[in-house]
């Protein structure tokens, strides 16, 4: 599927701002993806920069928590990403790496969650090396140029942002959803968050539910996992 010029233009306009997460999420949804996740890694550590779910709630949180808890080191594409020259974006399909996956890695990240298709953009910049992962429940057509353009847009944004006012995944949320998540990350209960925002506790619960659905998580633990530095 090709991308309308408007989707690309909105991403370009939002480069370096909090608005990029929303623009890029809309782009991924236009590509008919069920989940998009962006991870930065130097081989020793990994962090989540974007998590946006369009299909099954809870999928992103489970995948991210496991991946960030050391499993990223078992990613068959990690050596290639670390060796990718700066300024390069390369597309790898599920079929390209399936044979290189360890049995437990395949079970945890594909068989157990029922994912049948994954597109990964290996994106190397001046400061960051990114896995831009696009997940689908079922295999589908992929235009390599379109996919690589999406990866380059992500690289252009995240490679220039060196300081974050809030954890990067929260940028994909509305202002109120973000405030509720920040309250949760600071250890506050729903009642305390409601008092700080001057809304009813039931409203906080609604914002929390919406935020979790967008992030692809189902619990506080999932929120802490994808927001960990």
What is the model's pLDDT at position 1? 55
Cβ–Cβ < 8 Å for 36, 133: yes
What is the CB neighbour count within 10 angstroms for residue 25? 20
Instruction: Report pLDDT digits (tens) over 49-77.
Output: 998 887 655 566 677 878 888 899 999 99
Q: Do domains 5-158 and 168-227 have the same CATH topology?
A: no
Give the tokens for residue 212: 């979790």
Instruction: Report pLDDT digits (tens) over 183-223.
Output: 999 999 999 999 999 999 999 999 999 999 888 888 888 89
137, pLDDT greater than 80: no
Domain 5-158 has CATH 3.30.450.80: yes
User: What is the value of pTM for the model shown?
Assistant: 0.87
Q: Which CATH number fits domain 168-227: 1.10.3720.10, 1.10.10.10, 1.10.340.30, 3.90.550.10?
A: 1.10.10.10
Domain extents for the chain?
5-158, 168-227
């Amino acid at each position: 599927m090709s991308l309308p010029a408007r989707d690309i233009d909105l991403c370009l306009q939002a480069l370096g701002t909090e608005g990029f997460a929303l623009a890029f999420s809309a782009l991924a949804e236009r590509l008919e993806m069920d989940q998009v996740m962006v991870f930065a890694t130097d081989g020793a550590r990994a962090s989540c920069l974007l998590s946006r779910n369009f299909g099954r709630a809870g999928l992103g949180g489970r995948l991210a928590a496991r991946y960030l808890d050391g499993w990223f080191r078992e990613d068959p594409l990690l050596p290639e990403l670390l060796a990718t020259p700066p300024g390069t974006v390369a597309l790898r399909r599920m079929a390209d790496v399936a044979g290189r996956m360890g049995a437990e890695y395949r079970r945890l990240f594909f068989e157990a969650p029922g994912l049948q298709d994954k597109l990964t953009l290996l994106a190397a910049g001046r400061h960051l090396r990114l896995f831009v992962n696009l997940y689908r429940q079922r295999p589908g057509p992929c235009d390599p140029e379109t996919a690589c353009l999406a990866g380059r847009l992500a690289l252009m944004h995240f490679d220039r942002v060196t300081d974050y006012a809030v954890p990067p995944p929260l940028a994909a949320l509305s202002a109120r959803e973000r405030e509720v998540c920040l309250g949760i990350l600071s250890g506050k209960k729903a009642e305390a968050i409601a008092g700080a925002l001057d809304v009813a506790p039931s409203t906080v619960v609604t914002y929390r539910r919406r935020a979790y659905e967008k992030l692809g998580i189902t619990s506080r633990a999932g929120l802490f996992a994808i927001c960990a530095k």
